[in-house]
Homo-oligomer: A and B are copies of this chain.
């Protein structure tokens, strides 16, 4: 019995991309891209039975770009955690996805893929949540009649004699029963205040509060997913604006080994003072299942951004991808 499992995903595509949001004069570019359906990763994980229902586990996951071979972020950006689990649930320490992120992932159109329009659309309107946090203590409850919950706290570890530490806290409550999943998520990202003024050195000068209601239902002929997210941004206790977002999608097995995916997201930022923004996006994709571990895919994603005060067009991001994904 091995005490460690080496695993990963390699996903690359040929395609074209054009981003007139970033630069109005951008041209369509032929590219080899990384992670069309899923972010590239490799990692080590393990689980040990300690007896009496107790288990110890760990996960170390590196992200990389398959098109250039570059590491993406820190060594174990994907996860760096150790946990103890038993009848009481599980306690984990380290760097990991937040409970909020878990619910967003489970209800993300296009099967939690990178080609999903959700995150990009929301970020183009204003801001989305932090998906993974350092210095985290997390608790995941066991499941009671389909109900379960999780909570996590991340310490900024930057407290001074004149300022509190930053912190992230996140929770998730969900009900899962057969084809149905319904969940509520909450995440608060707090800045560091020095006598009422955000401490600029910490890089976070705004407080963000996220609320999410999300659900999925598998009808067999198709699986529907969707969610509604609110974000309130404050600075020094003064509200800056609201960023509300809606997303939904459908995944359908249309023929043997062929699945079709559609996803949509819309997000609006209403500023208390200043410019409002609006972004909408959609993705249409299909994959051909070559084996349990390998599939080929084609996908098209488009995000559109507008100045929601003036109604002016602020550009589009278009990505077309034909690729292969392999899991090991």
* Given known A8-B4, A11-B82, A32-B135, contact A326–B58 (CB-CB < 8 A): yes
B82 pairs with A64, CB closer than 8 A: no
Instruction: Mark contacts of A21-36 with chain B using CB atoms, 8 A cut-off: 1 yes-contact digit, 0 otherwise.
Output: 0000111111110000
B93 pairs with A67, CB closer than 8 A: yes
Interface assignment of A191: CB less than 8 Å from any CB of chain B: no
Residues on the B chain within 8 Å of A171, using CB: none
* Given known A4-B6, A27-B160, contact A93–B12 (CB-CB < 8 A): yes
* Given known A56-B290, A82-B12, contact A93–B324 (CB-CB < 8 A): yes
CA distance A67 to B136 in the complex (A): 7
A293 pairs with B48, CB closer than 8 A: yes
Interface assignment of A146: CB less than 8 Å from any CB of chain B: no
A55 to chain B, nearest CB (A): 9
A32 pairs with B71, CB closer than 8 A: no
Interface assignment of A66: CB less than 8 Å from any CB of chain B: yes
Residues on the B chain within 8 Å of A77, using CB: 69
Interface assignment of A180: CB less than 8 Å from any CB of chain B: no
B136 pairs with A32, CB closer than 8 A: yes
A99 to chain B, nearest CB (A): 16
Please give me the residue from chain B that is nearest to A31 by CB atom.
Answer: B157
A324 pairs with B82, CB closer than 8 A: yes
Choose one: B28, B50, B75, B291; the contact of A56 (CB below 8 Å). Answer: B291
Interface residues in A102-141 by Cβ distance below 8 A to B read: 134-137
CA distance A44 to B66 in the complex (A): 13
Interface assignment of A13: CB less than 8 Å from any CB of chain B: yes
A170 to chain B, nearest CB (A): 14
B58 pairs with A69, CB closer than 8 A: no
A32 pairs with B326, CB closer than 8 A: no
* Given known A69-B80, A324-B82, contact A159–B54 (CB-CB < 8 A): no
B60 pairs with A10, CB closer than 8 A: yes
Residues on the B chain within 8 Å of A27, using CB: 159-161
CA distance A41 to B25 in the complex (A): 42
CA distance A136 to B27 in the complex (A): 20
Most chain B CB within a 10 A radius of its CB, from A7, A10, A46, A76:
A10
B64 pairs with A80, CB closer than 8 A: yes
CA distance A324 to B137 in the complex (A): 12
CA distance A296 to B28 in the complex (A): 53
Residues on the B chain within 8 Å of A75, using CB: 62, 64, 69-71
Please give me the residue from chain B that is nearest to A92 by CB atom.
Answer: B12
6 pairs, A vs B, C-beta closer than 8 Å: A3-B328, A4-B8, A29-B155, A42-B60, A64-B75, A64-B76
Shortest Cβ-Cβ A-B pairs, 3 listed: A69-B80, A69-B76, A71-B75
Binding site for B on A (CB under 8 A): 3-4, 6-8, 10-14, 25-32, 42, 44, 46, 48, 50-51, 54, 56-58, 60, 62, 64-71, 74-82, 84, 93-95, 134-137, 154-155, 157, 159-161, 165, 290-291, 293-294, 296, 323-324, 326-328
